[in-house]
Structure 1
Amino acid sequence: MMYDLKITVQRSLYPWLISLLIFLVPIQAFSQVPAGAISAPTNINQNDCPCIFPDGRVMFKLEAPEADHVQIDLVGKVYDMQKNEEGMWSVTTDPQEAGFHYYSLVMDGYKVADPASESFYGMGRMASGIDIPEEGIDFYSPKDVPHGEIRSRSYFSNTSETWRDINIYTPPGYDENPQISYPVLYIQHGGGEDERGWAVQGKLNMILDNLIAEGKAVPMIVAIPDGHVSKPGVEAQGYNDAAMAVFREELFENVIPLVEEHYRVKAGAEHRALAGLSMGGGQTFYTGLRNPDIFKGGLGIFSTGLFGGIGRAEGSEFDPEEIIPGILTQSQSFNDKLDILYISVGEQDQRIEATKKLIETFRENGLEVEFASFPGGHEWQVWRKSLHDFAQKIFR
């Protein structure tokens, strides 16, 4: 097993730490799912905890008899676990919102992955994750429908001068129907994730498979690149112009040419769309609205912190006209070039008020925007719903 340690461990602590980690094993012989609860779908062993109660509370268990202090760090709250005489630690959390949440075990101050859970690349590192089902929501569940594929490949980027990874979703029937070409959605992850985010946590393939089977979405190819791009000699971080210029170069000179050369893509900007969540939403705002003639098929901006002041000087107002000249003063030109401009945010996300305010400004100045909000904070359940909604509106 691999464990993600948050801090550097002094050499003198190695023997102690190794002996401690030996006991970080999933509870099998000792753990049973409590009555009325279910094993989390993100568990490695479906007969173990973490266990989810109907009201959203989660029980965590861990066998670590040599540990002195064990906690669960989940959705910004730390819970102290209690140890019994057999060295079994457990805790039951407050009710949690439905959706996907990263979490960590905290072992005597060290953050590690829970060996009972699958690990995911999020928060800028490998972390445990728990997916709490939402009653009545199954649009991202596997169903008995034709399935597409997530295809992983590597390519050499002339921008970063490194080999990079990308995931490509091809719709059902792609290989069986070589005469058919498809529109392409380019979609970006958030700041703590990479090209695995939409393919794994986002369940993009299941969302598209189900929509296509229901006739609610046009069969499409989806390109999921890594949005973290560096360029030798360029200081490019966050939302500054340099970072956005490097991202644009990677997308326009490496990613799009790769997709259009190796996959059956329909020609023309009307068959090309761009979307992203959080950091990827900011990249979509910058790159998509500065190049609306490239992505006529549509732009999807999910939960970006850009509108709430991220990347701005403290106390300064977000000025869309400064970033996108003409967005307010020549809004009709954007309406003519884009089939859809879609913006969404979680209803409990701290970005929602700033986002709503910007939507009002856009509409007051004649810019056509479709806005949606969904229950939840800054997390994957909101972004899954955003993609589910946006995918039904593009390439029509």
Structure 2
Amino acid sequence: MKQYSIVLALSLTLISSLMTAQTASSKIIEDFKPSVLNQPGKEFPQVNSQGYARFRIEAPAADSIIVSLGLGGKKGGTKLSKGADGVWTGTTAGPMDEGFHYYHVNVDGGTFNDPGALNFYGSVRWESGIEIPAHDQDFYALKSVAHGNVQQILFPSKSTNTSRRAFVYTPPGYEKEQSKRYPVLYLQHGWGEDETAWSNQGHANLIMDNLIAEEKIKPFIIVMTYGMTNEIKFGGLKNFDITPFQTVMVDELIPYVDANFRTVAKQSYRAMAGLSMGGMETRMITLKKTDVFSHYALLSGGLYNPEDIKDKSKVKLIFLSCGSKENPDGVKKSATALKNAGFNAVSYVSEGTAHEFQTWRRSLKELAPLLFKE
């Protein structure tokens, strides 16, 4: 296969060939700006106020280029058109959901990342990322407020015969208030991602900083570690064994965190949450380890039934969420059934989003004020 030198850029002029994919009833507003997730100094790709994304790729020798956003109106993504100068251009056929999206570029069957965009670990590889500005993005914006700290830790794991990595968010003031102890939320990523996801794609630290600054939550620590999920191929969840990760989480990571951070090392001050497959892990572990966690949260990650939980007295909160394009009825019905059975259960549906990070950012914003209220 030929090797192509690929440089991605965004066309600043209106190109008539880009309009062919648009519906007759839709008109693109030409107010495109570089994505906030572009590499420093790179103008491409760009997004507009309607949520369209536009791409420009210099690859004179290529025969076919497709951007894998999946919104091109045809199966396989957004097909780009080649100009006489060897530059490929294209715009998504419709607006994308607000928030963060992974993507990559297929050039004659080969998979490449966009050199104009920052990379994020997802789909079991480093993917390019693009951000569609959201109407409610203020809650995860970088503001002039006191900021917490996200640090990498390496903790010993006898069960896996290695040191493992986690990222720990400590709230503003943690370093100064040496006598204060904090509850802990163990927050899990989804399939194809790793322990960097909640900080990089999810902006969990900024969400926390802003909520704390607004005095909407009591400060707590967040711990994010790899869920040992990516060895399972997509669609093969029936083969996933929770036991190895449960051992790492309960017997190795939690004791390490309690020994090295100022935590309140009690079940009533410990929560577990996860998105997608991380939610599945959360469900499995919390049902087995009721003496370890008291607050449970599944973000697009399944449901609890009242009969699943044997000791109601040990559960302080059950939080269930998803996007409105996922399973909102199921989430609401499950929460209602749990409430009727006497549980403190809360449901949340992110309007206009699907199985994506804007759903989970919003979910964390709704979840955080409910945690550790007593």
Identify whether the pair has TM-score above 0.5, normalized to the shorter chain. Answer: yes
Q: Which residue of 2 aligns with 1:218?
A: 218
Change in 2 beyond 3 A, CA 1:33/1:379: farther
Name the structure 1 match of 2:45.
50
The 10-residue stretch of structure 1 (182-191 or 286-295) with the greater mean CA deviation from structure 2: 286-295
1:341 aligns with 2:336: no
CA contact (8 A) 2:65 2:105 kept: yes
Which residue type is aligned with residue 50 of structure 1?
A: P
Deviation, structure 1 residue 75: 4.0
Question: Partners in 2 of 1:100 and 1:260 — Cα distance?
Answer: 33
The residue aligned with 2:91 is 92
Which of 366, 381, 385 is the aligned partner of 2:362?
385
CA contact (8 A) 1:98 1:134 kept: yes
Alignment deviations for residues 325-383 of structure 1 (CA, whole Å, 9 cap, x no partner) = xx3xx5xx32x22221111111102x434434433443454444211111200000000
Contact 2:118 2:129 in 1 (8 A): yes
The aligned counterpart of 2:208 is 208
Percentage of matched positions with identical amino acids: 34
Which residue identity is paired with 2:175? D
Specify which of 27, 34, 49 is matched with residue 39 of structure 1.
34
The Cα offsets for residues 63-104 of structure 1, whole Å up to 9 and x where unpaired, read as 111111111110465111011122111101021110111111
Q: Is 1:362–2:338 an aligned residue pair?
A: yes
Alignment size in residue pairs: 349
Greater CA drift, 74-83 or 249-258: 74-83
Q: Quote how far apart the aligned CAs of 1:141 are.
A: 0.7
Structure-2 change in CA distance of 1:80 and 1:214 (3 Å): same
Letter in 2 for 1:284: T
Query: After the TM superposition, which of the residue ranges 153-162 and 374-383 deviates more from structure 2?
Result: 153-162
TM-score by length of 1: 0.82
Q: Distance in 1 between matches of 2:80 and 2:299?
A: 35
**Partner in structure 2 of residue 116 of structure 1:** 116
* 2:191 aligned counterpart, secondary structure: coil
Residues 31, 48 of structure 2: 8 Å contact kept = yes
Match of 1:145 in 2: 145
Map 1:1-396 → 2, pairs under 5 A? 13=1, 16-17=2-3, 20=4, 22=5, 24-27=6-9, 31-32=11-12, 35-45=30-40, 48-75=43-70, 78-93=77-92, 94-228=94-228, 243-296=241-294, 298-304=295-301, 306-307=302-303, 321=307, 324=308, 327=309, 333-334=311-312, 336-349=313-326, 351-375=327-351, 376-396=353-373
1:312 matched to which residue of 2? none
**CA shift digits 1:287-336 (9 cap, x unpaired):** 1133233212x1111101x45xxxxxxxxxx9774xx3xx3xx5xx32x2
SS in 2 for 1:139: helix
Contact 2:298–2:320, Cα closer than 8 Å, also in 1: yes
C-alpha contact 2:350 2:362 (8 A) present in aligned 1: yes
Alpha-carbon spacing, 1:62–1:277, altered in 2? closer, same or farther (3 Å): same
- C-alpha change, 1:124 and 1:229, in structure 2 (3 Å) is closer
Aligned counterparts of 2:13 and 2:306: Cα–Cα separation in 1: 51
Residue deviations 1:131-183 (CA, integer Å, cap 9, x gap): 11112431111000000111012223112223321111111111122222111
**d(CA) in 1 for partners of 2:170, 2:7:** 38
Quote the Cα distance in structure 1 between the aligned partners of 2:349 and 2:114: 32
- Larger mean CA deviation between 127-136 and 375-384 belongs to 127-136
Instruction: For 2:191, give the aligned amino acid.
Output: G
The one-letter code matched in structure 2 to 1:299 is Y
- Is the 2:124–2:230 contact (alpha carbons within 8 Å) kept by the matching residues of 1? no
Q: How far apart are 1:284 and its partner, in Å?
A: 1.1
SS of aligned partner of 2:367: helix
- Structure 1, gaps ≥5 residues long: 1-12, 232-236, 308-317
Residues 336, 345 of structure 2: 8 Å contact kept: no
The alignment partner of 1:138 has SS state of helix
One-letter identity of the residue aligned with 2:140: Y
Structure 2: gaps (5+ residues): 15-29
TM-score normalized with structure 2 length? 0.87
* Secondary structure, counterpart of 2:137 in structure 1: coil
For 1:220, the aligned partner's letter is: F
